[in-house]
Amino acid sequence: MKITRKRKYKATIPTASTGDIAFLLIIFFMSTTKFDVKEGIKLVLPKAVESQENKTQTITLTEKEMTRFQILPDGQIAVNREAPRYIESEELDTIIQQKVQINPDMIFKIITDRDAKYNDMIRVVDRLKAAKIEKISLSTS
């Protein structure tokens, strides 16, 4: 009598639904991931005023009317015509309060070097906004 042996099949994993599973995982991760939205600087810019015959006016401001913060690439800040130096936030608050006491309608001009760090400019703008200053001029050099 001849005994027949059963053939041993290799164990395989069914791959028919692998594509479906991958698709469902992609949908799951896309729908549950929270994307970080970067917000810009919140400033309300004034509307442009049309002048008569499109003539421009040049106004010269003195240090009693305008304070200039110049931010250098290495993070130093020059206030008006003073030598540039590193200024901490507390000292910056003190300088702003002194300038506002001299003239409540003081205009603050921030001149940022193109190679300066964005955080240095933001720190100065934040200190001005914290002091409730509304007359801020931003420029680059």
**pLDDT tens, position by position, 61-117:** 777 788 999 999 999 999 988 899 999 989 999 999 999 998 888 899 999 999 998
Show Cβ contacts of residue 128 under 8 Å, excluding neighbours closer than 6 positions.
Answer: 96, 108, 110, 136
**79, part of any domain:** yes
**18, part of any domain:** no
What pLDDT, on a 0 to 100 scale, did the predictor assign at position 41?
Answer: 67
pTM value is 0.60
**99, part of any domain:** yes
Percent of the chain with pLDDT over 90: 35
**19, part of any domain:** no
pLDDT, greater one: 112 or 59:
112
* Per-position DSSP letters for 71-85, written without gaps between them: E-TTS-EEETTSPPB
Count of domains forming the chain: 1
The lowest-confidence range among 33-37, 69-73, 111-115, 118-122 is: 33-37
Using CA atoms, how far apart are residues 91 and 70, in angstroms rounded to an integer? 15
The whole domain housing 115 covers: 63-140
The chain-wide mean pLDDT, for the chain, equals 84
**122, part of any domain:** yes
**32, part of any domain:** no
Q: Residues 3-14: what's their mean pLDDT?
A: 76
Q: What is the CATH number of the domain that holds 98?
A: 3.30.420.270
Using CA atoms, how far apart are residues 78 and 88, in angstroms rounded to an integer? 13
Tokens at 80, concatenated = 């008006």
* β-bridge mates for residue 140, sequence order: 112
**44, part of any domain:** no
